[in-house]
């Protein structure tokens, strides 16, 4: 844990978060590296956070949402440098002052180039323009042109950007699995040249809903190159002593389990 993150954490009032959310925030601070730029200073994956906090997948997501709603962190999706691996970067409140958030109004971000000041237009077409002619050469006078013949053309307003279809599909998936696993499964289907549709996503969510460990079901599907998901193939969970089979159960295995309990 960096000194910067620990000092900031000590100043947060106890009533700001519940015990579970504060425990998650503590481990985010523990993963903070002040020698990196603020956008890349903290990026533990969800598997690590679940292990160190003892929270379930749903509990961890609820805690992260509560911390972000309290204005203590910001989450940014990105990729690992030099790889295509997707990861979540957590920007802690102690780094907010070093980041200028990009908005539709200012168009400014940490990677934006400085804004340029518009220069006076130079044209010979209008009387009293900011230039004069001398032997066929154009010379600037430093004055702005006075347009008397035509009104300035107003720029058409651009239509607001429509929501990406993949964003809607991802939102449906993260209602039952972690954001990291949702991104992995979406990429898995794209690699199979079978991209997810809204209808297929709704069917997957309905099929896995109620399973004790939805992440494990989707992880098994990716590992075996399956297009769909098979909840019955993953019997193991935190509360189930039976280990996952790693494939759909055969008829012999089903009979043995029903007759002998193994």
Position 162 pLDDT exceeds 50: yes
Look at residues 98, 133, 155 and tell me which one is the last residue of a structural domain.
Answer: 98
Residue ending a domain, among 64, 98, 132, is 98
Query: Phi and psi at residue 92, in whole multiples of 5°?
Result: -80, 160
Q: Is residue 150 part of a domain?
A: no
Task: Write phi, then psi, for 250 (nearest 5 degrees).
Answer: -80, 170
Q: Choose one of 98, 118, 149: the last residue of a domain.
A: 98
Task: Give domain status of residue 69, yes or no.
Answer: yes
Q: Is the pTM of this model over 0.85?
A: no
Mean per-residue pLDDT, 200-228? 92
Instruction: Give the model's confidence band at 98: pLDDT under 50 very low, under 70 low, under 90 confident, else very high.
Output: confident
CA dihedral 91, 93, 94, 100 (to 10 degrees): 70
Query: What's the farthest any 2 CA atoms get from each other in the chain?
Result: 105
Report if residue 207 sits inside a domain.
yes
Residue 99 sits at φ, ψ, to 5 deg, of -125, 130
pLDDT level of residue 128 (50, 70, 90 thresholds): very low
Give residue 10's domain range: 3-98
Predicted local confidence at residue 206, as pLDDT: 92
CATH code, domain with 22: 1.10.10.10
Residue closest to 211 by CA, chosen among 185, 235, 246, 241: 235
Determine contact, residues 144/118, Cβ cutoff 8 Å.
no
Decide if 128 is inside a domain. Answer: no
Query: Does residue 181 surpass a pLDDT of 60?
Result: yes
Specify the pairing of strand 73-79 against strand 86-92.
antiparallel
Assess whether pLDDT exceeds 70 at residue 95: yes
Task: Look at the alpha carbons of 117, 122, 127, 132 in this order and tell me if their dihedral is positive or negative.
Answer: positive
Structural domains of the chain, count: 2
pLDDT at 110 over 50: no
Q: Cα(129)–Cα(142) distance, rounded to whole angstroms?
A: 9
């Amino acid at each position: 844990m960096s000194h910067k993150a620990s000092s900031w954490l000590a100043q947060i009032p106890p009533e700001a978060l519940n015990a579970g959310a504060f425990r998650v925030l503590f481990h985010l601070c523990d993963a903070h590296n002040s020698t990196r730029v603020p956008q890349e200073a903290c990026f533990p994956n969800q598997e690590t956070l679940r292990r160190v906090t003892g929270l379930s997948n749903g509990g961890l997501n609820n805690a992260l949402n509560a911390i972000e709603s309290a204005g203590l962190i910001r989450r940014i999706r990105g990729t690992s440098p030099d790889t295509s691996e997707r990861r979540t970067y957590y920007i802690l409140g102690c780094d907010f002052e070093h980041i200028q958030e990009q908005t539709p109004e200012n168009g400014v971000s940490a990677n934006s180039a400085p804004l340029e000041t518009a220069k006076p237009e130079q044209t010979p077409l209008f009387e009293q323009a900011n230039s004069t002619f001398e032997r066929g050469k154009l010379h600037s006078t430093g004055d702005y042109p006075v347009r008397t013949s035509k009104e300035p053309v107003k720029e058409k307003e651009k239509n607001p950007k429509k929501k990406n279809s993949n964003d809607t599909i991802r939102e449906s998936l993260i209602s039952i699995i972690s954001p990291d696993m949702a991104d992995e499964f979406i990429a898995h289907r794209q690699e199979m040249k079978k991209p997810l549709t809204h209808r297929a996503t709704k069917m997957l969510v309905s099929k896995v809903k109620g399973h004790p460990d939805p992440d494990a079901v989707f992880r098994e599907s990716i590992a075996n190159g399956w297009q769909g998901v098979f909840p019955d193939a993953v019997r193991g969970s935190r509360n189930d002593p039976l280990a996952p089979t790693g494939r759909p159960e055969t008829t012999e295995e089903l009979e043995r389990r029903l007759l002998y309990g193994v």
